[in-house]
């Protein structure tokens, strides 16, 4: 199979879909990999390293998209890439379609088979989302701590406190991968950490993991309101796979926060859990202030640490890419229920139920859309 890797074009998206090691896994299996000139530079990988791994360079994105049977990316295609969509194209990338209706329109119009990393599912886990959630969770605590500094617009609270002065309060809503990793760093910084989740078993696991270093609370509007009110740093980390994130933190709750407090809504890629977040921000201009509270809503946080993130991402995606390339799309999907769960659009249909429901498309299971028996 011919696999293409274009350079990422989103604001400060410094990751690339494959490391040279990932390329070598594919080329040694007999596949052809096309890399756009300079695609790996920001992640620390030169054209030469890719060529040594067996890839062929292409001068521009157009040639990569046109020649490849499968395109591997990191972030969802932006509008200027929609012109490359075509019926026989396999697109393997993060999509977060519930938050990008125009992309769902374009993919279905051109009948692209789009497999979203974030909905590939194994035993109720999302293995292609996990490493980037680990990165974003860890970053959320350190970014929050930075924006609490006065010079960055924050209230001037040091999360660790000092002897004689109380520690800063961090509330994390959603105790999955992002939430757990945010907690690890926030605890390391010495903060007073509360994790809120809807799943009682998950709260038990977190209690076993962190013991007295955290407080756990069941997710309900009252617990959320009381915790938000006293938080110096609020981290949004909820996910309902494929679906738009539930707006759990209302504008009235945000109004109760101390001026200069910080919200880092990691769940922004699915629309965010905070009512006062009305737009996605970028690494170039990451925050805005509303009701005196700093809002951080960057949807590609791991793009800021590409040396770590690109390798973490390739580590988990390459075996799935290899499966598609070795077997061909339909046999690969047929033999891999996890991969089948990743199919978000195919043959002109939205094939992931939560996405279809949120965007008002008719849902067709991927097996039916692709006539797989």
CA-nearest of 47, 91, 135 to 312 is: 135
244 binds, among ligand NAI, ligand CC(=O)C(=O)O, none (CB under 5 to 8 A by kind): none
Q: Per the annotation, does 197 bind a ligand?
A: yes
Among 320, 343, 318, 328, CA closest to 69: 328
143 vs 332 by CB, closer to ligand NAI:
143
Binding residues for ligand CC(=O)C(=O)O restricted to 221-250, rule: CB under 6 A: none
Residue 269 annotated as part of some ligand binding site = yes
Taking the least distance from each CB to ligand NAI, the nearer of 168 and 175 is 175
The DSSP letter of residue 164 is T
Q: Which member of 31, 96, 295, 349 is catalytic?
A: 96
Residues in contact with ligand CC(=O)C(=O)O, counted by CB under 6 A, come to a total of 9
* Phi and psi, residue 55, nearest 5°: -80, 160
Q: Would you say 75 is a known binding-site residue? A: yes
- Cα–Cα dist 53/43, whole Å: 16
- Of 266, 274, 304, 322, the one binding ligand NAI (CB under 6 A) is 266
Strand partners, 149: none
Least separation in angstroms between residue 118's CB and ligand NAI is: 6
Active site residue 207: no
- Say what the alpha-carbon torsion angle 88, 90, 94, 100 is, to the nearest 10 degrees: 10
20 binds ligand CC(=O)C(=O)O (CB under 6 A): no
- Nearest-angstrom CA–CA distance, 224 and 228: 6
Rg of the chain over all Cα atoms, to the nearest angstrom: 21
C-alpha to C-alpha distance for 257 and 272, rounded to whole angstroms: 18
**Which one of ligand NAI, ligand CC(=O)C(=O)O, none is in contact with 271 (Cβ closer than 5 to 8 A by kind)?**
none
Chain residues 61-100 in contact with ligand CC(=O)C(=O)O, contact rule CB under 6 A: 75, 94, 96
Cβ-Cβ contacts under 8 Å for 122 (sequence gap 6 or more): 338
Positive/negative CA dihedral, 118, 120, 122, 128: negative
Contact positions with ligand NAI (CB under 6 A) in 299-338 = 299-302
By CB under 6 A, residue 173 contacts ligand NAI: yes
Q: Which of 302, 338, 342, 366 binds ligand CC(=O)C(=O)O (CB under 6 A)?
A: 302
Q: Residue 151, annotated ligand binder?
A: no
Q: Is 284 one of the annotated active-site residues of the chain?
A: no
Which is nearer to ligand CC(=O)C(=O)O, 91 or 293 (by Cβ)? 91
Q: Which of these is catalytic: 232, 265, 269, 358?
A: 269
CA neighbor of 39 nearest in space, from 325, 329, 314: 314
As a whole number of angstroms, the longest Cα–Cα distance in the chain is: 68
* Residue 74 near residue 93, CB atoms below 8 Å: yes
Q: Which residues are annotated as a binding site?
A: 15, 75, 133, 197, 202, 219, 238-239, 266-269, 298-301
Which residues are tagged catalytic?
96, 269
Q: By the criterion CB under 6 A, which residues form the site for ligand CC(=O)C(=O)O?
A: 75, 94, 96, 118, 129, 132, 269, 300, 302
């Amino acid at each position: 199979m011919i696999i293409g890797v274009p350079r990422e074009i989103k604001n400060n998206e410094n990751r690339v879909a494959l490391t040279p090691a990932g390329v070598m896994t594919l080329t040694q299996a007999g596949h052809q990999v096309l890399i756009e000139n300079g695609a790996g530079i920001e992640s620390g990988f030169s054209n030469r390293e890719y060529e040594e791994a067996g890839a062929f360079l292409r001068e521009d994105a157009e040639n990569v998209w046109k020649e490849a049977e499968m395109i591997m990316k990191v972030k969802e295609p932006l509008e200027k890439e929609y012109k490359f969509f075509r019926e026989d194209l396999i697109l393997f990338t993060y999509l977060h379609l519930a938050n990008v209706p125009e992309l769902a329109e374009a993919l279905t119009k051109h009948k692209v088979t789009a497999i979203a990393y974030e909905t590939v599912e194994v035993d109720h886990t999302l293995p292609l989302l996990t490493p980037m959630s680990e990165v974003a969770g860890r970053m959320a605590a350190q970014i929050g701590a930075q924006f609490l500094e006065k010079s960055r617009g924050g209230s001037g609270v040091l999360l660790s406190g000092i002897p004689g002065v109380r520690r800063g309060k961090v509330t994390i809503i959603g105790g999955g991968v992002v939430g757990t990793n945010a907690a690890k760093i926030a605890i390391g910084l010495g903060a007073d950490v509360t994790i809120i989740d809807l799943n009682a078993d998950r709260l038990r696991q977190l209690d076993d993991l962190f013991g007295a270093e955290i407080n756990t609370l069941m997710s309900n509007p009252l617990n959320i309101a009381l915790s938000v009110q006293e938080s110096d740093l609020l981290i949004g980390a909820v996910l309902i796979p494929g679906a738009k994130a539930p707006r759990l933190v209302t504008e009235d709750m945000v109004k109760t926060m101390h001026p200069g407090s910080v919200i880092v809504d990691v769940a922004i890629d699915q629309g965010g859990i905070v009512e006062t977040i009305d737009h996605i921000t970028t690494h170039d201009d990451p925050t805005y202030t509303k009701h005196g509270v700093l809002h951080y809503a960057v949807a590609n946080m791991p793009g800021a640490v590409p040396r770590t993130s690109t390798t973490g991402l390739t580590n988990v995606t390459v075996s799935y890419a290899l499966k598609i390339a070795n077997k061909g799309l339909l046999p690969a999907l047929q033999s891999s229920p996890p991969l089948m769960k990743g199919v978000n659009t195919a043959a002109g249909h939205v094939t992931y139920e939560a996405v279809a429901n949120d965007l008002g498309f008719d849902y067709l299971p991927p097996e039916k859309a692709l006539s797989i028996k």
